[in-house]
Copies of this chain bind each other. A is one copy, B any other.
C-alpha cells in the first residue's frame, strides 16, 4: 500500500509538495506537479481516508437515522438522501433504530466518536433532552420527524395540512363517520396529522370518536386487521383516513376480498403516494410528500452546518403536501355515505 512518503521518495520531493499536488494548492511548479501525478499513477497511490480524517477532523460521512428501511417511505428518503450526499462528496451510513430508544442513543455515539460529521434524524425515539447533549459533537438536522423543543435545523412537511386536506376531501364526499389510522403515538408527524384530521372534523361540526381511532397501523397486514376491527363496530365508519398507503392498500385488499365495495362501502385515503396506490383496483387517493426535495434540503443544510460549525439554531423549512385524488374515495360519481 503506497503512502505519501513513497511518492515523495520516488519523486525526490518532500511530502509537503505531494500533499500540495493532491489538494490543488498553489505554489507548485508545473514541472513538479506532472512528476508527482505520474509517480502517483505509477504507484497506484491514493490518500488514506483515516489519516485525512484525523488530520482534517472531518470524515465526509453522514449518518441517517430511520426506524426501518423496508418502509417504502423511508426507502425513498434514503435513496434521495444518498444521492444528495454523494453530490456533496459525502458517504451515507444507515442507522436503523427499529423504534428502539436504546439503539438510537447507541448510534448517536457515531457523532461523539467522530465517525460521522453529522446526523440526520428522520425519526426520533428519545426525548429531545436525551439527544441534545450530542449537539456539542456535531450537527443534528431533523428531517421529516420534528420536535418543537429541538433547537436545530428542521426540514419538514406540513403534516397538519396533510391530515386536514385528506380528511376534508372525505367530508366533502359526504362522509361523517370517518375512522383514523396512524402508526404510533410517539411521532409528532402522526400527531400533527391527527390535529389536521380533527381540525377538518371540527369545521364540519363533527367530534373525534376514539372508537374510530387505530394508532397501531404500520403495514399491509395491519390494514387488513384494522378493516375487520372497523367492520365489527356497531356503527361502522364509511370512510377511513390512514397514515400510509400500505395500510390503505391492506384495508382495500381485505375489503374487496370480503365482498365490500370501495369506495361505496368504505372510502379510503392513504398517505405517501407510493407506487402501490396505482396498483389496487380502485386506485388509492393519497397525499403526496415531496421526499426528494426534503432530503435534498436536509443534506444541503447539514453540509452548511458542518462548515459553519453553528449547530444550535432552530431554523424550520417546511414543504407543502398535496392531495392526489384517485378512485378509492370517488367512485363513479356515487357518494359513499348514507349516514
With the chains together, A280 CA to B249 CA distance in Å? 9
Copies in the complex: 2
Does A189 count as interface, using CB distance less than 8 angstroms? no
Interface centre among A46, A76, A275 (most CB of B within 10 A): A275
Partner of A219, one of B68, B93, B275, B280: B275
Q: In the complex, how many residues of chain A place their beta carbon closer than 8 angstroms to a beta carbon of chain B?
A: 50
Q: When chains A and B are docked, how far (Å) is the Cα of A54 from the Cα of B52?
A: 9
The one of B49, B68, B246 in contact with A275, judged by C-beta atoms closer than 8 angstroms, is B246
Query: How many whole Å from A152's CB to the nearest CB in chain B?
Result: 19
Give the residue of B48, B70, B94 whose beta carbon is less than 8 angstroms from that of A113: B48
State A267–B91 Cα separation when bound (angstroms). Answer: 44
Is A137 a contact of B1 with CB atoms below 8 Å? yes
A278 CB, min distance to chain B CBs, angstroms: 7
A72 — which chain B residues lie within 8 A by C-beta? 70, 72, 75
- Chain B residues within 8 Å of A169, by CB: none
B79 near A275: Cβ-Cβ < 8 Å: no
Instruction: Give the complex CA separation of A137 and B48 in angstroms.
Output: 11
Complex interface: chain B residues within 8 A of A149 (CB): none
Least Cβ–Cβ distance between A246 and chain B, in angstroms: 7
Q: Which of A73-127 contact B (CB under 8 A)?
A: 75-76, 78-79, 82-83, 91-96, 109-110, 112-115
Inter-chain CA distance A83–B276, complex, in Å, is 27
Chain B residues in 8 Å Cβ range of A281: 253, 256-257, 281
In angstroms, Cα B51 to Cα A113, docked, is 10
Which residue numbers of A lie inside 8 Å of B, CB to CB? 1, 46-51, 53-54, 57, 59, 61, 68-70, 72, 75-76, 78-79, 82-83, 91-96, 109-110, 112-115, 137, 219-221, 246, 249-250, 253, 256-257, 275-276, 278-281
Since A50-B114, A279-B280 are in contact, a sample of 5 more A-B pairs with Cβ atoms closer than 8 Å, ordered by chain A residue number, is A49-B113, A70-B76, A82-B94, A220-B276, A257-B281
